[in-house]
Amino acid sequence: MIDSKAIKAIIRRFEEKEGVRGVIIADSNGLPIKSNLDIEIAENVSAYITSLIGKGEQCVKSLQEGDLKFIRLETSKGEVMVAKEDMFILIVLK
């Protein structure tokens, strides 16, 4: 598991980037471990992203394209970037 100092460093590094509205690090089940957002918002975003990851993994598997690693969504407010690792999920709202 990733240690708390490393988690804080990851969030700090993304917070310094221009236009970043929020950063969430969730466990592999989608439960927020650490975030710079309000806990209720972090939980809601994590739940929706976890559902999206599930659908994305089904799609990638059906297409026989290997493993899902990254999702990028462009929205009317900006973008949502999701990096999926074995032990955690990184969500950046920009």
Mean pLDDT value across the chain: 91
User: Which residues, in sequence order, are CB contacts of 22 under 8 Å at separation 6+?
Assistant: 35, 36, 37, 41, 42, 45, 91, 92, 93
Residue 4 has pLDDT above 80, yes or no: no
Comparison of pLDDT for 93 and 11, the residue scoring more = 93
**How do the domains of the chain map onto residue ranges?**
4-93
Domain 4-93 has CATH 3.40.462.40: no
How crowded is residue 85: how many other Cβ atoms within 10 Å of its Cβ?
10
Q: Give the whole-angstrom CA distance, residue 14 versus residue 50.
A: 20
- pLDDT tens sequence across 12-46: 888 888 899 999 999 989 999 999 999 999 999 99
**Beta-strand (E) ranges in the chain?**
22-27, 32-35, 70-74, 79-84, 88-93
How much is the pTM?
A: 0.89
- Per-residue confidence band for 8, with pLDDT thresholds at 50, 70 and 90: confident
- Per-residue confidence band for 2, with pLDDT thresholds at 50, 70 and 90: low
